[in-house]
Amino acid sequence: MAIILASQSPRRRELLEQMGIPDFTVRPARGEEKAAPGLTPAQLVEALSLQKGLEVASGAQPGDLVIAADTVVAVEGRVLGKPHSRQEAAEMLSALSGRTHTVYTGVTLCRDGAVLTEHEATAVRFRPLTDGEIAAYVATGEPMDKAGAYGIQGYGALLVEGIEGDYFNVVGLPVCRLGRMLARFGVDALALCAQKEKRL
């Protein structure tokens, strides 16, 4: 059985490695995901991760296990994906300044026609930001490939006063939930970690 990560996110690759998942293949979905209007943020990330998972699973070999994920930020009813420009990144950060927002990640597992989709939600509180601080953070370039225009595992940690929930979900992959989902497909992540340590 091969494990396929349907994402080009380096953060998700690092988290899978941290979980002890051995020798997985990265095969990002190539299609443009589309979701029906009117979905809640939780429904949206589940729908988008499902589309990614099914697309990659359609080209997988029998027995292969596909892991797909999608992350968005929601604040006061507004859903924030990845910014398309530095101006949009600054606007997103201004919207998050001094507020609590929610990070949603949908995760889908696919193997041989079996599909499981779930999501995780984490509350994140930003400290109030000045226009100068927002401009300085945008100038680092870090916001440009991240939902909500920040990375909690990078310089964006300087903006976060606190979180409630799964930290790794904010990075882009809810590790604890994924571990439970993998177990339903017969993959014991802790046993894989133990085997990895024995080999070292």
- For the chain, what is the domain count? 1
The whole-model pTM stands at 0.92
Tell me the residue range of the domain where 169 lies: 3-199
Report pLDDT for 200: 59
What's phi and psi for 47, nearest 5 deg? -65, -45
CB 12 within 8 A of CB 49: no
Kind of pairing, strands 78-80 and 65-75? antiparallel
One pLDDT digit (tens) per residue for the chain, 200 residues: 799 999 989 999 999 998 888 789 999 988 777 777 889 999 999 999 999 999 999 999 999 999 999 999 999 989 998 999 999 999 999 999 999 999 999 999 999 999 999 999 999 999 999 999 999 999 999 999 999 999 999 999 999 999 999 999 999 999 999 999 999 999 888 887 777 666 65
| Both tokens assigned to 167 | 């930290």
Report pLDDT for 189: 81
Of 70, 131, 166, 188, the active-site residue reads 70
Kind of pairing, strands 3-5 and 114-126? unpaired
Q: Determine whether 70 is an active site residue.
A: yes
* CATH assignment at residue 169: 3.90.950.10
Q: Please tell me the chain's helix, strand, coil percentages from 3-state DSSP, rounded to the nearest 5.
A: 40, 25, 35
Report pLDDT for 87: 97
